[in-house]
Amino acid sequence: MFRSAPRAVTAAVAAGSATLLLAACGEQAATGASGDGPWKPTKPIEYIAPAGTGGGWDTLARTSARVLDEANLVDRQMRVVNKPGGGGAIGWSYIAQHEADPHKLFVTSPPILLVPLAGESRQTYKDFTPIARLNTEPLAYVVKANSPYKTFDDLASKLKSDPKSLSVAGGSGPGSLDHVGLAGAVQAAGVNAAQVKYVPFDGGGEAMTALLGGHTDAAVAGASEVTGLAKSGAVRVLAVSTEKRSAILPDAPTLTEEGVDYVFDIWRGVMGPKGLTESQVAYYEDAYKKMVEHDSWTSESKKLGWTNAFLGSAEFGKFLDEQNESLSGILTDVGLKK
């Protein structure tokens, strides 16, 4: 004969079930998962610029955050946080500590490949989730307006005769974006790139400050980082690294025009922590795709000299694999790979 359970036992089971249900709901709320629909963020999104203010990463983070917020393309506020140091490694280390956290993103560019290849970071691009590639821009090779070097050939000639005689500032670490952009250009001009004195700073803003302060003889930085100073007459742009002239630095010749067979595009994009779900990646991928088509973004890109080069998560991941292989070869050629 079947006998019902005592009321006390029944109550205990019910209470336990309720506790488990509440715990599940709490966990669901913490991740923003609804269980039966697309994922959406449930709290502000911490948006890391792995460098100081004023540089390319900072500009990209603040510009994209503003457009995403103002165009209502994300459901929570994007809060930009600067974490400078190590050519980006400090910021990457921070993100790596928050695996599977969908409320943290960071802006990125070639240093995510170059710094690890040079042995300067514990993390590699494989430790993160690609979200989207957004744009490209050229590097600019600059000197102070009163510098005796009027052309890139003038600078290269001096470096040929005495590679250690000049110092060149860059906004990324040894073996990283600006360093490789410099090394590749001077090597193509016949200079022993391994002997050129490269002085790293945390971001293009700091590199330009060093140049203007007379602490270095030249600098290399993204075109958008030097445009204001070039227009004010504070610096002279000797050349840009792209195949065609930059829309925001139309008077600056390309390296090719200067007789140097070297082209280097700076791509920029967004990544997140490792372990994000397909739904979380899709949410951000869709937001950024809509962002690059928005009038406000188009207007800002024109001012900053950015060229739209959107790739979704999967395509961006393949691009990173290809770039990693290519840049590994460049670092080896100029003696920078460890």
What is the per-residue burial (b if ≥16 Cβ within 10 Å, else e) of 88-124? bbbbbbbbeebeebbbbbbbbbbbbbbbbbbebbebe
So what's the pLDDT on residue 17? 44
> What structural domains does the chain harbor?
45-137+266-333 (3.40.190.150), 138-265 (3.40.190.10)
- The DSSP secondary structure of 286-305, one letter per residue, reads HHHHHHHTSHHHHHHHHHHT
So what's the pLDDT on residue 300? 94
In three-state secondary structure terms, 105 is: strand
Mean pLDDT of the chain: 88
Sign of CA dihedral 138, 143, 145, 150: negative
d(CA 146, CA 218): 11
d(CA 323, CA 315): 12
Closest alpha carbon to 137 in 55, 262, 241: 241
Sign of CA dihedral 238, 241, 242, 243: positive
| Model confidence, pTM | 0.74
Are the C-beta atoms of 238 and 152 separated by less than 8 Å?
yes
Task: Count Cβ atoms below 10 Å from residue 265 Cβ, excluding itself.
Answer: 16
Query: Which ranges of 44-142 does DSSP label H, i.e. alpha helix?
Result: 56-70, 89-96, 111-117
Which residues, including other chains, have CB under 8 Å from residue 189's CB and lie 6 or more apart?
152, 153, 156, 159, 160, 260, 262
Which residues, including other chains, have CB under 8 Å from residue 78's CB and lie 6 or more apart?
44, 45, 47, 64, 65, 68, 69
Share of the chain above pLDDT 70, in %: 89
Mean pLDDT for 83-108 is: 96
Q: Specify the range with the lowest mean pLDDT, choosing from 104-113, 153-162, 328-337.
A: 328-337
pLDDT in tens, 184-239: 999 999 999 889 999 998 888 899 999 999 999 999 998 988 999 999 999 999 99
So what's the pLDDT on residue 216? 97
d(CA 95, CA 45): 12
So what's the pLDDT on residue 298? 96
Beta bridge partners of 240: 140, 254
Residue 24's pLDDT band (boundaries 50, 70, 90)?
A: very low
Of the two residues 67 and 14, the one the predictor is more confident about is: 67
pLDDT in tens, 266-317: 899 999 999 999 999 999 999 999 999 999 999 999 988 898 999 999 999 9
d(CA 179, CA 183): 6
Whether 100 has a pLDDT exceeding 60, the answer reads: yes
Of the two residues 115 and 255, the one the predictor is more confident about is: 255
Q: Specify the range with the lowest mean pLDDT, choosing from 13-17, 85-89, 161-165, 333-337.
A: 13-17
pLDDT in tens, 154-180: 999 999 999 999 999 998 777 778 989
Q: Which two tokens stand for residue 63?
A: 């510009």
Q: Specify the range with the lowest mean pLDDT, choosing from 86-95, 144-153, 324-333.
A: 324-333
Q: Which two tokens stand for residue 231?
A: 């227009």
Whether 27 has a pLDDT exceeding 90, the answer reads: no
Which residues, including other chains, have CB under 8 Å from residue 13's CB and lie 6 or more apart?
5
Residue 36's pLDDT band (boundaries 50, 70, 90)?
A: low
- The DSSP secondary structure of 115-174, one letter per residue, reads HHHTT--S--GGGEEEEEEEEEEEEEEEEETT-S--SHHHHHHHHHH-TTS-EEEESS-T
Whether 1 has a pLDDT exceeding 70, the answer reads: no
So what's the pLDDT on residue 323? 92
Mean pLDDT for 326-338 is: 79
Q: Are strands 218-222 and 235-240 parallel, antiparallel or unpaired?
A: unpaired
Integer CA distances (angstroms), 256 to 4, 80, 225, in order: 88, 37, 21
Mean pLDDT for 6-16 is: 42
